[in-house]
């Protein structure tokens, strides 16, 4: 019996070791590109790649970040990206909260059909809607305005699904008790359902904010040309530092990498601030 138990425990340890090893391997695949970019962003002006990857910079040059910050008009890009990402996330949270509450806690004829209709939209790639959205904002005269960046996509189907699944975990008895106390739908939603759904809402906010922050193609189409309303991703595209009259100089690449690293900071701060809610929201939503 002891030999059988020993063999079983060894087998479990081997499987567990393989799982951990696979996770570490995937983690390295995700982290190493960012790490090498960070190392490159700190390289000195005399840096020459030579076709090799550097685990450490030849010498740490923090001035790269200051030079990239000043040369790329990054302040206004970050301001407009915060407006786009923050405003879009805030408005969509209100919309998906209302729709998810009705789908999760209200009973009406055709409820399942409405939900399936929403879910079918998830099968349509966003790129297919680029032309129709472009024609829409052109027809209503919003082309080139900040509203054109955030208006399409305000009804976020993924957010509706995520929040609806979470709201299903809220006991109906809690809502029935609130109704008996005289609470209306608006009070139940704002005072009871939304506070109890904060893990899922925080999860949605992180995913949506990061997605909008990194959005590149649609703002480029919606703003249509060089605009004072350009977000940070467009500013990065336009940032072409020249060294000794050449954009292909190795130090020019270092400055562009430093500018890219700067754009990651707001996203990292936002994510780590809500990481606890993000993990909790994923776990609880997956139970339903």
Number of compact structural domains in the chain: 1
Would 7 be classed as within a structural domain? no
Would 13 be classed as within a structural domain? no
CATH code where residue 95 lies: 1.10.3720.10
Would 215 be classed as within a structural domain? yes
Buried b / exposed e along 185-216 (16+ C-beta atoms within 10 A): beebbeebbbeebebbbbbbbbbbbbebbebe
Would 155 be classed as within a structural domain? yes
Mean pLDDT of the chain: 83
- What residue numbers bound the domain in which 114 lies? 72-285
Distance CA 134, CA 121 (A): 18
Would 5 be classed as within a structural domain? no
Distance CA 279, CA 288 (A): 15
Would 170 be classed as within a structural domain? yes
pLDDT at 287: 44
Quick count: other Cβ atoms within 10 Å of Cβ 58?
A: 13
User: Could you please report the per-residue DSSP string of 164-227?
Assistant: HHHHTTS-HHHHHHHHHTT--HHHHIIIIIHHHTHHHHHHHHHHHHHHHHT--HHHHHHH-SS-
Would 15 be classed as within a structural domain? no
Please write the tens of the pLDDT for every residue from 116-160.
888 888 787 777 888 888 998 999 988 888 899 998 888 888 899
Would 27 be classed as within a structural domain? no
Distance CA 259, CA 69 (A): 7
pLDDT at 288: 45
Asked if residue 219 lies in contact with residue 231, where contact means CB atoms within 8 angstroms, the answer is yes
């Amino acid at each position: 019996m002891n030999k059988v138990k020993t063999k079983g425990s060894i087998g479990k340890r081997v499987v567990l070791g393989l799982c951990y090893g696979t996770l570490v391997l995937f983690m390295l695949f995700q982290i190493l590109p960012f790490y090498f970019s960070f190392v490159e962003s700190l390289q000195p002006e005399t840096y020459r790649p030579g076709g090799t990857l550097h685990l450490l910079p030849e010498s740490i040059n923090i001035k790269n970040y200051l030079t990239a910050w000043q040369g790329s008009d990054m302040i206004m890009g970050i301001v407009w990206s915060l407006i786009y990402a923050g405003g879009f996330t805030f408005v969509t949270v209100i919309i998906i909260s209302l729709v998810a509450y009705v789908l999760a806690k209200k009973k009406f004829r055709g409820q399942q059909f409405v939900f399936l209709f929403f879910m079918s939209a998830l099968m349509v790639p966003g790129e297919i809607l680029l032309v129709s959205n472009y024609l829409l904002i052109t027809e209503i005269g919003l082309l080139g305005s900040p509203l054109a960046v955030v208006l399409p996509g305000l009804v976020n189907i993924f957010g509706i699904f995520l929040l609806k699944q979470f709201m299903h975990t809220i006991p109906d008895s809690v809502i029935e008790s609130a109704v008996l106390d005289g609470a209306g739908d608006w009070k139940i939603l704002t005072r009871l359902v939304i506070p109890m759904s904060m893990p899922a809402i925080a999860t949605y906010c992180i995913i949506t904010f990061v997605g909008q922050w990194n959005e590149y193609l649609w703002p480029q189409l919606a703003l249509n040309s060089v605009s004072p309303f350009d977000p940070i991703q467009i500013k990065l595209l336009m940032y072409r530092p020249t060294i000794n009259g050449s954009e292909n100089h190795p130090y020019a690449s270092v400055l562009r990498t430093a500018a890219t690293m700067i754009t990651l900071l707001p996203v990292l701060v936002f994510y780590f601030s809500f990481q606890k809610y993000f993990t909790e929201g994923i776990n609880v939503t997956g139970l339903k």
